[in-house]
Amino acid sequence: MLLSLGIIGAGYASTGSFIVKDVSLKGGATITVPLDKEIDTPAIEHAIRAAMPGHDILVRGYGIPGQQQGVIISADIDINSKEQLDALLTAISSSLGSPFKEGSYGIEFFGSSLGASFFRESLIAMLVAFALMALVVFVYFRTFIPSVAIILAAVGDMLAALAFLNLFHIPIGTAGIAAFLMLIGYSVDTDILLTIRVLKRKEGTVDERIASSIKTGVTQTAIAILAMGIGFAMAQSDIIRQIMLILIVGLTADLVFTWIQNVGLLRYYLERKGRT
């Protein structure tokens, strides 16, 4: 958790933001170019970045499985600057190796104020969801340390996923915000399973109840990670791939935060209560 906080803090110190935002969150332009041939999207992205230094450029393909039908180029340009838009269009045309005429592409603009407003409201929604989850946990268990352990595990999962995205400079858009909301539910699932079995059940010793929880919980998480991995590998949509990636990283981190951190806190709590 401290490592994740360190990575996020370093990113904030260098960029002024604790996440890497894409165009939908910080404003800019998205250009969709239909194509009738396969292209190397990383090479196209590199060429446009070289032509427009200082701008964040993201190029992704779209189409049906096994067939690319075009590319989507996102850039954090000033939407009120015709010079920047013309420079972007020129760079795209040059990188594709053939000029395209007006009307042969689609373009969408996202104002910075709209992106900032959506980002702010998304954070509020996430905080409200997290607060309601914490409230339910406290009401159900009515004990401080076990409840805090569940909440800390969920926080750790989200911090780990966010640190991973920052470390590899992966931009987060609206889909990423949705994935973090989903991760709240995934995170507390195994923690609640563990806490109920250890505190509420009476059969067997504490170690036996923990071992039973690990068998069920790790199997559950492993199957979820496998399903997300298949989705990530097979999806043609970058939006779906972004959601899958965040969930994969968060669920992998959950194996540590649930079965090491949470188990340790529960054992500490039971030892203090003299119930081990």
In order, the DSSP letters of 32-62 are: EEE-SS---HHHHHHHHHHHSTTS-EEEEEE
CA gap 206, 183 in Å, rounded: 28
**In this predicted structure, what is the pLDDT of residue 252?**
97
Write down the pLDDT at residue 155.
Answer: 95
DSSP states of 94-108 as a string? HHHTS---TTSSEEE
Say how far residue 51 (Cα) sits from the centre of its chain. Answer: 29
Candidates 3.20.20.70, 3.30.70.3220, 3.40.50.2300, 3.40.50.720; CATH matching 28-110:
3.30.70.3220
- Nearest Cα neighbor of 188 from 248, 257, 122, 249 is 257
DSSP helix/strand/coil, 64? strand
70: left (phi over 0), alpha (psi -120 to 50) or beta: left
Sketch the domain layout of the chain as residue ranges.
28-110, 113-273
Which residue type is seen at 42? P
Report pLDDT for 140. Answer: 92
**What spatial distance separates the first Cα and last Cα of the chain, rounded to whole Å?**
27
Rounded Cα gap, residues 180 and 246, in angstroms: 7
How many Cβ atoms sit within 10 Å of the Cβ of residue 142? 9
Tell me the backbone φ, ψ of residue 271, rounded to 5 degrees: -65, -40
For residue 262, the model assigns a pLDDT of 95
Contact of 31 with 92, CB cutoff 8 Å: yes
Q: Which residue positions in the chain have pLDDT lower than 50?
A: none
Kindly indicate whether the domain formed by 113-273 is annotated with CATH number 1.20.1640.10.
yes
Domain 28-110 shares a fold with domain 113-273: no
Q: What is the pTM of this model?
A: 0.83
Per-residue pLDDT, 162: 95
